[in-house]
Amino acid sequence: MTPPWHQCRVDGSPWSGVQQVRTESERHFGRHWHDTFGIGVLDEGGQRSASGRGEVDAHAGDVLACNPGEVHDGRPLGGRPRRWRMVHVEHSLLADAAGRDDIELTQPVIRDPQLQRALRVLLGRLDAWQAGLAGTDLDLLACEEALAGVLGRLVQAHASVAPRAPD
């Protein structure tokens, strides 16, 4: 019997505490957790997973999210491989964006076109950086702006705490 097909690649980013992970897989991932926030886009296929919020289904175009330490699993829907890209972010980066340490993402599957677009921009900028096509200060600023856009949208619309008002 042939094992389920699986391909995964971890790439760095211009910042400490941020990584991009690309996965295409037929595998069923057993229960596990990460020590970072994970936010990404399911590009192709579908996935069912148990999460800290119960069992959920995600389909192509959905945003996937998990909190540090949140136990989850994942298996393909319909027996077909699924493909997704995630950005893993250290807790301190999202906490700094919120101005609070007690932040948590509220849903494992998010249907938010604005967040999805922002994530796709960030992922594209990270791809360009990884390929060596984003070497100027302006390129790095655009990449940082894309990260700030994603973190800002998460804090604004999909986190358990509202950002603090400036003092």
| pLDDT of 134 above 90 | no
pLDDT single digits (tens) 43-60: 999 999 998 778 999 999
As a 3-state breakdown, the chain gives helix, strand, coil percent values, each rounded to 5, of 30, 35, 35
More confident residue, 138 or 146: 146
Q: Exposure of 55 by Cβ count < 10 A (0-12 exposed, 13-18 middle, 19+ buried)?
A: exposed
Asked if 91 and 36 count as a contact pair (C-beta separation under 8 A), the reply is: yes
Name the residue with higher pLDDT: 4 or 147: 147
Distance CA 19, CA 17 (A): 7
The DSSP code for 118 is H
Backbone φ and ψ of 124, nearest 5°: -65, -40
Q: Is 110 left (phi over 0), alpha (psi -120 to 50) or beta?
A: beta
Write out pLDDT tens, residues 4-46. Answer: 889 999 999 999 999 999 999 999 999 999 999 999 999 999 9
pLDDT of 3 reads: 78
What is the reported pLDDT for 51?
85
